[in-house]
Amino acid sequence: VISLYFRRYLLMALTSCLFGLSAAVDSKPNILLFLADDLGIGDIGCYGNNTIRTPNIDRLARGGVKLTQHIAAAPLCTPSRAAFLTGRYPIRSGMASSNRYRALQWNAGSGGLPANETTFARLLQKQGYTTGLIGKWHQGVNCESFNDNCHHPLNHGFDYFYGMPFTLLNNCQENKPPELDVALQAKLWLYSQIIILAVLTLTAGKLIGLISIRWKIIACCTLVGSLFFISWYSSYGFVQYWNCILMRNHDVTEQPMRLERTASLMLKEAVSFIKRNRHGPFLLFVSFLHVHTPLFTTAKFIGKSHHGLYGDNVEEMDWMVGKILDSLDKEGLKNHTLTYFASDHGGHLEAQDGSAQLGGWNGIYKGGKGMGGWEGGIRVPGVFRWPGVLPAGTVIDEPTSLMDIYPTVVHLAGGILPQDRVIDGRSLVPLLQGRAQKSEHEFLFHYCGSYLHAVRWHQKNSGAIWKAHYVTPVFHPPGAGACYGKGICPCFGEGVTHHDPPLLFDLSRDPSEAKPLSADTEPLFDIVIRKIERAVEEHHRTLTRVPEQLSVYNIMWKPWLQPCCGTFPLCWCDKEGDSTQSL
């Protein structure tokens, strides 16, 4: 009898638990997404860093689920974020580059996330969500005119946008060396100086009678030289005005932006969005400008960390995360909000100022930002929290992707995935809740631009995580682990090495990719390589040719596309005034 009552009680408890969980999942939670910029997986406490203080991100992990094999679809900002927003490899949307420009270079370029791509924000809009983006966009603005806004966040499902349509650069800070196209600028300066020297030499020779030349020819050379100089200096000479701007919806509010108050403005906007939409449901995507160079950090965080300016910047970002989480608590929304934190790709190893490291740390993983194959470029933090629904303190070692956020939030919102295109992400809901033990990903394809550099095979029946590298960057200097002196490692050309047969690693035994396997050391070598090659062939059959958004023409500065808060070229404004306040 006791056994019978116990079984009945257990059945009732289990039914109640499942019903409560189903009701919670079906109730359209608020969605809060944090995405850091250039943050290394080794930079935060819950992933092993014991010197940079990140208490707020760490409490997210303690109260939720931590992913240890969370993979970006690209090792650079623009393509990675395109994949995050669409749940698709960047090559499917044209956001993967076949040239050396692998990210958008200007607000006034014509490339960007195509209007026919469907973001998770658009699908959540259809489910009654109010959608907002605070922070970095870097997916383009205009296509054909300065106000067509074809690539703008508001044209991709966001009801509200406040932030930077581009990305932070050293050019955005007065006392920093330029960062945008430095090598090309140096060549253009050299050519301009040669032209000036030639014109001066011709003029002097004419005046003293050493050269017999008509003044019209000298005037023509002067005109050509002047036009050449204006043609490039009108863009590269004013990067701070053209790229370093803030927008509210379609309106430019700061041009150029004042970095000393940007963090406060972003935080104020995020907290205000939550307060305005507390009756929900809402989707808020907080896309941090931290921790991209120039690492501008407000005064109260300067010198506070043990890792210089970079550590200070990480700690300021963590403080902002805490303030936004506090606003959820204040509005009583903590238990009804799915919160997610990640980085768009690995830390930037080559970012240095002399001996000072200005980029992140990728822990035990080889490589960093810009490297499409090595783990350090694509393995990122991934943390979920939803009190009462997701089990606290859980660690999941299965392969997951930033592209998985797309089907995950669409599922929770009660939406339906597009049926007219390939969606590469997989819903993480069963895995996060503990109803599934294995990731739905069997293969993940690791691109560098439009070039396939590596492939990961999750052999579920054995637990092995095989990874084959077809192309790897040539480190400079040799053995350095990065491409120092080059900004980032290239994807093709003389700066890479092609491997045939590919380099093979089992990440379950060698996560640092330190010891490549061979047919002599691994009995399954040939079988694994053939399996991966068949997967590559099947993957290639799913690709269709689309316009390349990052072509040289599309990324060029076009003055007629320049967002401007005045009459071009007199673009200067400060509509924010001193609207910031202590938070």
Active site residues: 77, 138
Gap between the Cα atoms of 487 and 483, Å rounded: 7
Q: Which of 381, 275, 365, 257 is nearest to 323 (CA)?
A: 275
Other beta carbons less than 10 A from residue 58's beta carbon: 18
* Long-range contact set of residues 142-147: C-beta below 8 Å, sequence gap at least 24: 142/108, 142/110, 142/561, 142/563, 143/110, 143/112, 143/561, 144/110, 144/561, 145/560, 145/561, 146/108, 146/560, 146/561, 146/562, 146/563, 146/564, 146/568, 147/250
How many CA atoms within 13 Å lie on the side-chain side of 375?
A: 26
Q: Which of 30, 21, 22 is nearest to 413 (CA)?
A: 30
Helix (H, G, I), strand (E, B) or coil at 523: coil
Evaluate whether 397 touches 463 at the Cβ level (below 8 Å): no
Any bridge partners for residue 160, and if so which? Answer: 132
Gap between the Cα atoms of 135 and 166, Å rounded: 9
Gap between the Cα atoms of 149 and 247, Å rounded: 12
Alpha-helical runs (H) found in 157-214:
182-208
Show Cβ contacts of residue 207 under 8 Å, excluding neighbours closer than 6 positions: none
- Residue 207 phi/psi, 5-degree rounding, is -65, -35
Evaluate whether 166 touches 245 at the Cβ level (below 8 Å): yes
Tokens of 518: 């061979």
Strands 400-401 and 464-473: unpaired
Q: What is the 3-state secondary structure (H, E, C) of 263-298?
A: HHHHHHHHHHHHHHCCCCCEEEEEECCCCCCCCCCC
Evaluate whether 28 touches 128 at the Cβ level (below 8 Å): yes
